[in-house]
């Protein structure tokens, strides 16, 4: 048999599980069996419990095996040679797996399928169709994005179309598009997966945004902890430039647009848009007071669109298939799909893209399969380290911006982290305050000082030092931080703390009282 095409993910999650070693070990096996092999380093499909998941092209389509370790490779390779034969690690056709079959993949339609370095494969899978339609009617781009109902996928949920219209209407000699790829929330990896698995969709989305508002330059701000994403994005930008999709004449049009990758030093607060701008301009990442809004006076004092990776990567689908098509998915004011990241103590962790409206219970129990330990689920944190802790009593909450806000929670970047019944929620509340203290930019008092006092107050509560008085102090402190902080870092820290206090008060019982009760 000759010409075997094998996909070995180059995604950071798969690499962390040994994918690089697997890729290097395949050629010697092929040479030994006198089989010609082409290895493609694709992105991940998002079924992380199966990584490294290898796929082979057969007459029956692509057949997957996983998780493949070095000890399994030889027998898996023989099964691949035999046309995707049976094996204990055989997953079958990925698209037929229940985890993928239940999804609605719009933003992640190509992720794991195409070679992220190949522009030809991107084009063969409907790539740049959205840009071509945008170029045919540039004046209608903002209206289409507004009509689609797309909201910021980075956390705030602000309507993307309104932000774009504000920048489009602003008068300036230069405007910018800034992609916030500083994905710092716990349990989140969707931005990284897109950049490593389908980088051209982000480039296309940023280009469409530039044409819509009159910007000629874009920046992708990526955290330094994402070396694989940085490398793939830089390679894709070079390829797009060489092919004429970036530069002085985008796809032969009268529009000019170029993109550059900038690497952040790794501060959580730089995920806040104005702190990100400070960092981009070469200064310490500190939050700016608003107004003026970045849409009026942003990067280098010019009107700037700042959007998350997932927001920008959704735009090509909207432009290609139409605003009505995209808006047809979702519920209420939450339209389209959301790539939900399932992590923590969970049996089936990974990326699950679906329309808004699925309940938290479905995600944890059905899609995620419950806890990895097999113990009962105690709490689920949605929205990163500053998201609220939801108990099982709130598992009927639909994945919807307003529904979560109505229960004092937030969707954020849609990271879902699961905890079993061994978790101590008082310690989790303390962690939230400590995290804020460490990551605070230091500019405002409620965040800088409040978080430090919060750690001390929680310590006094669990030590049994005037617990009732200190609980009152902690509650008052949370209110001060929530309404007095300059940005969401200090403003959202009360969410995990107060939710832990509200739903798990037994964990805040002082240690001496716990021991006496036992």
The pLDDT value given to residue 321: 97
Beta strands in 203-336 (DSSP E): 217-223, 258-264, 304-308, 330-331, 334-335
Instruction: Report how far residue 295's alpha carbon sits from residue 302's, in angstroms, rounded to the nearest whole number.
Output: 8
DSSP string, 327-371: HTSEETTEESEEEEEEEES-SS-EEEEEETT-BHHIIIIIIS-S-
Q: What SS3 state is found at 461?
A: helix
Instruction: Report how far residue 127's alpha carbon sits from residue 161's, in angstroms, rounded to the nearest whole number.
Output: 22
The pLDDT value given to residue 215: 97
Dmax over CA atoms of the chain, in Å, equals 77
pLDDT tens digit sequence for 232-269: 999 999 999 999 999 999 999 999 999 999 999 888 88
Neighbouring-strand partners of residue 220: 179, 261
Instruction: Report how far residue 165's alpha carbon sits from residue 163's, in angstroms, rounded to the nearest whole number.
Output: 6
Instruction: Report how far residue 385's alpha carbon sits from residue 391's, in angstroms, rounded to the nearest whole number.
Output: 16
Residues of the chain below pLDDT 50: 1
Q: Please answer whether residues 187 and 48 qualify as being in contact, where contact means their C-beta atoms are separated by less than 8 angstroms.
A: no
The pLDDT value given to residue 272: 87
Q: Quick check: bond before 57 cis, omega within 30?
A: no
The pLDDT value given to residue 510: 76
- List domains and CATH numbers for the chain: 4-101 (3.40.30.10), 119-327 (3.40.50.11540), 330-420 (3.10.20.600), 425-517 (1.20.1440.230)
Residue with tokens 């229940």: 98
The pLDDT value given to residue 515: 56
Instruction: Report how far residue 481's alpha carbon sits from residue 18's, in angstroms, rounded to the nearest whole number.
Output: 43
């Amino acid at each position: 048999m000759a010409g075997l095409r094998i996909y070995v993910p180059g995604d950071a999650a798969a690499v962390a599980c040994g994918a690089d070693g697997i890729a290097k070990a395949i050629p010697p096996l092929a040479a030994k069996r006198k089989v010609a092999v082409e290895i493609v380093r694709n992105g991940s499909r998002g079924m992380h419990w199966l990584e490294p998941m290898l796929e082979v092209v057969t007459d029956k389509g692509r057949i997957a095996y996983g998780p493949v370790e070095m000890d399994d490779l030889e027998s898996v390779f023989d099964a691949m040679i035999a046309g995707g034969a049976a094996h204990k690690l055989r997953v079958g056709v990925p698209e037929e797996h229940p985890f993928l079959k239940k999804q609605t993949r719009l933003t992640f339609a190509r992720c794991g399928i195409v070679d992220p370095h190949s522009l030809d494969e991107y084009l063969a899978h409907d790539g740049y169709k959205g840009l071509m339609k945008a170029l045919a009617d540039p004046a209608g781009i903002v209206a289409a994005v507004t009509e689609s109902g797309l909201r910021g996928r980075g956390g705030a949920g602000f309507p993307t179309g309104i932000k774009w219209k504000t920048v489009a209407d602003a008068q300036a000699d230069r405007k910018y598009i800034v992609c916030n790829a500083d994905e710092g929330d716990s349990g989140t990896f969707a931005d990284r997966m897109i950049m490593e698995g389908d980088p051209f969709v982000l480039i296309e989305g940023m280009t469409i945004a530039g044409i819509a508002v009159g910007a000629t330059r874009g920046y992708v701000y990526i955290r330094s902890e994402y070396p694989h994403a940085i490398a793939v994005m830089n390679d894709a930008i070079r390829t797009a430039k060489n092919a004429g999709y970036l530069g002085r004449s985008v796809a032969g049009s009268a529009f000019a647009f170029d993109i550059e990758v900038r690497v952040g030093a790794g501060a959580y607060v730089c995920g806040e848009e104005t702190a990100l701008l400070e960092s981009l301009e070469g200064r310490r990442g500190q939050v700016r007071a608003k107004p003026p809004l970045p849409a009026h006076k942003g990067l280098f004092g010019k009107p700037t669109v700042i959007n998350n990776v997932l927001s920008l990567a959704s735009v090509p689908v909207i432009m290609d298939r139409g605003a009505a098509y995209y808006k047809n998915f979702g519920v209420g004011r939450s339209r389209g799909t959301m790539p939900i990241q399932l992590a923590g103590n969970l049996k089936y962790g990974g990326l699950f893209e679906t329309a808004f409206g699925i309940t938290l219970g479905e995600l944890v129990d059905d899609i995620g399969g419950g806890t990895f330990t097999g113990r009962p689920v105690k709490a689920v944190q949605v929205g990163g380290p500053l998201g609220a802790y939801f108990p099982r009593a709130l598992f009927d909450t639909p994945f919807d911006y307003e529904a979560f806000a109505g229960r004092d929670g937030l969707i954020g970047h849609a990271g879902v982290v699961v905890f079993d019944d061994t978790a101590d929620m008082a310690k989790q509340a303390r962690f939230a305050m400590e995290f804020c203290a460490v990551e605070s930019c230091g500019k405002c008092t409620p965040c800088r000082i409040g978080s430090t006092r919060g750690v001390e107050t929680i310590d006094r509560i669990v030590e049994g030092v005037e617990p009732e008085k200190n609980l009152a102090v902690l509650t008052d402190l949370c209110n001060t931080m929530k309404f007095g902080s300059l940005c969401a870092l200090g403003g959202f820290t009360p969410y995990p703390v107060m939710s832990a206090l509200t739903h798990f008060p037994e964990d805040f019982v002082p240690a001496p009282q716990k021991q006496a009760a036992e």
